[in-house]
């Protein structure tokens, strides 16, 4: 149950789970995530660059995209903005879509599947978006850097296979959804 503030409104931070609670929920139910492929666009709205994050996980470096959980009581739009700011910094200035309809819905399982999306921690469903950013990106949290690639570079076999959890297929779908898949 959400904690109440002194004036009777729900405490928005009550949706944070302890590490133990999160681990228990991950074992029992699918969790909702948002994922975003940050892009730069020209004056006509055509994608000119794709931003990929470099992360260090378990002693290995992998490429990935912006990703994170939707909290209880949080809108998809708010979650998307929060994770873009968390991963890219407060000066990234993301241009969120007018409609919260994703270009793809990815389902991650803790074991290999035909879909190819893998998250060993949990079963998760992710709503995926392509989001233009206009500002300066300075990765924060566990992202070490952001690399901007031309769409053809981002679609290369080397880049797609270097991405964690099957996100190479998601990146390829993102490029196709905006008409820049070579």
pLDDT digits (tens, 9 = 90+) for 34-93: 999 999 999 999 999 999 999 887 788 889 999 999 998 999 999 999 999 999 999 999
Average pLDDT, the chain: 89
Write down the pLDDT at residue 156: 97
Write down the pLDDT at residue 8: 47
**Per-position b or e across 31-61, b if 16+ CB within 10 A of its CB:** bbbbbbbbbebeeeeebebbbbbebeeeeee
Give the span between the Cα atoms of 73 and 64, in whole angstroms: 26
Average of per-residue pLDDT across 19-46? 90
**135 in Cβ contact with 91 (< 8 Å):** yes
Say which residue, 3 or 134, is predicted with more confidence: 134
**Rounded CA Rg of the chain:** 17
**162 in Cβ contact with 111 (< 8 Å):** no
Domain 29-177: give its CATH code: 3.90.79.10
What is the domain partition of the chain in residue ranges? 29-177
pLDDT digits (tens, 9 = 90+) for 94-115: 999 888 899 999 999 999 888 8
The pTM of the full predicted model, rounded to 2 decimals, is 0.85
pLDDT digits (tens, 9 = 90+) for 160-178: 999 989 999 999 999 999 9
Q: Which residue stretches of the chain are H helix?
A: 19-28, 76-88, 151-154, 157-161, 167-177
Rounded to whole angstroms, what are the CA distances from 126 to 11, 105, 170? 25, 6, 11
pLDDT digits (tens, 9 = 90+) for 139-149: 987 888 999 99
Length of the chain: 182
At which residue do the structure tokens 């470099």 appear? 54
Give the span between the Cα atoms of 90 and 84, in whole angstroms: 8
3-state secondary structure of 156: coil
Task: Using the predicted structure, report yes or no on whether residue 3 has a pLDDT greater than 60.
Answer: no
| Sequence-ordered strand ranges (E) for 70-142 | 104-108, 124-132
């Amino acid at each position: 149950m959400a904690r109440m503030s002194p004036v009777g409104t729900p405490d928005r931070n009550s949706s944070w789970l302890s590490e133990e609670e999160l681990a228990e929920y991950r074992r029992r139910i699918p969790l909702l995530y948002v994922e975003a492929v940050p892009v730069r666009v020209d004056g006509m709205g055509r994608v000119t660059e794709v931003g990929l994050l470099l992360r260090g996980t378990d002693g290995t470096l992998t490429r990935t995209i912006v990703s994170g959980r939707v909290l209880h009581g949080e809108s998809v739009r708010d979650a998307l903005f929060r994770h873009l700011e968390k991963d890219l910094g407060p000066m990234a200035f993301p241009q969120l879509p007018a409609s919260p309809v994703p270009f793809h819905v990815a389902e991650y399982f803790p074991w290999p599947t035909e879909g190819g999306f893998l998250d060993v921690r949990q079963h998760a469903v992710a709503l995926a978006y392509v989001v233009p950013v206009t500002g300066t990106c300075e990765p924060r949290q566990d992202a070490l850097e952001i690399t901007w690639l031309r769409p053809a570079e981002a679609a290369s076999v080397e880049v797609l296979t270097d991405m964690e959890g099957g996100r190479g297929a998601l990146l390829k779908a993102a490029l196709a959804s905006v008409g820049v898949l070579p």
